[in-house]
Amino acid sequence: MPGFELFGDKERNQVKDVLDSGVLMRYGFDGMRNGHWKALELEKKLAKRMQTNHAQLLSSGTAALTVALASAGIGAGDEVIIPSFTFVASFESILALGAIPVMVDIDDTLTLDPSAVEQAITPNTRVIMPVHMCGSMADLDALQAICDKHKLILLEDACQAIGGTYNGKPLGSIGDLGCFSFDYVKTITCGEGGAMITNNENYYRNADHYSDHGHDHIGNDRGAESHPFLGYNYRISELNAAVGVAQVARLDEFLAIQKRNYTILRNALEPIEGVSFRRVPEGGVENYSFLNFYLPSEEIAERTHTAFGKEGVDSCFYWYNNNWHYYKKWDHLKNLESLAPVAKDVLEGMPNYPDGHFKKSDHWMGRTISCLIKLGWNEEVMAERAALMASIIKKQL
């Protein structure tokens, strides 16, 4: 991770097909395309790879989450449960529909704590959205049981975890809906892009229409198509999709490199007393895009992260003080700071998150260091890096 590290002729040739045709839009202009439909091709390949009936390509992972929620009828006043450790897109997609993001604690998986989810359910809860941060998953069996009990939708945000599996099934394919991001720093990239997958025919049809201004895509005359309901523009371009066509075919190649580099690093850190690792639920297999480990205290973790930087160890993150991925710095969410007036349902329904509200999450995040696993590192570089990191950690302990 990320896939752009290994861009080559396969990506260039796919993009050249689009440029040679001159058709950069995914819909219409049938006669000019020379038979090339890159977005449609990527959707078919993705659905097959993810073992689902349908895939809908979108302009970003954020768009995928928004469209997935809209396709299931989520809107004004509906509550969607999300973890306190995620990316801002999780709550942005919910708020965009006038729904209410309800944050709850994480556990040692660094994802949703099922007991916290159960406690947060109200009559307005409609969706549970586990976010498979840094390549690994939540306790999906437990979350699915909660959804079944309360008749809720399970939406997997697998934007950072493509290629991971749970009980032999691809992450994203287990819930009612699953979403991926193909932005520039994901395991496979379109430059910008995302996708929603589902086995639900109605959700898929809704997503297909909603993401293209409500077009029903019936017939071969775009101007004559009907609009059964309101929609918006969340389309991906053919250029972006072309890059994805090449990259999705290389997913197993990328996963193998990530697993190799991840294993080298983990083997170097595992013998160190005081180092432990995030829990991967039984039956789960990470996509190996990050190695996440715990140190004995917040102080040691922060000090170690600083030491990494001083010694030239890049691509390691201390999410506890990160602006984009942990609730502590999300004042714009807590205070609902918006350019436009906030919907009444959100104003009245938004939970209050006082300081210290997520102590259980702080317990885990304050001690976590997360190391990106790059595709461009060969075994020699990875071994040197692992040895240096182990040496630094030992000094800090």
Catalytic residues: 186
Pairing of strands 125-128, 153-157: parallel
| 374-377 contacts at long range (C-beta below 8 A, 24 or more positions apart) | 374/1, 374/2, 374/5, 374/261, 374/315, 375/1, 375/2, 375/3, 375/5, 375/6, 375/254, 375/257, 375/258, 376/5, 376/6, 377/261
What is the Cα–Cα distance from 380 to 169, expressed in whole angstroms? 33
Instruction: Pick the closest to residue 138 from 165, 117, 161, 109 (CA basis).
Output: 109
Enumerate residues 6+ apart whose C-beta is below 8 A from 146. Answer: 114, 117, 118, 121, 128, 152
Contact yes or no for 227/211 (Cβ under 8 A): no
CA distance 60 to 387: 37
Query: Helical H runs in 134-200?
Result: 140-150
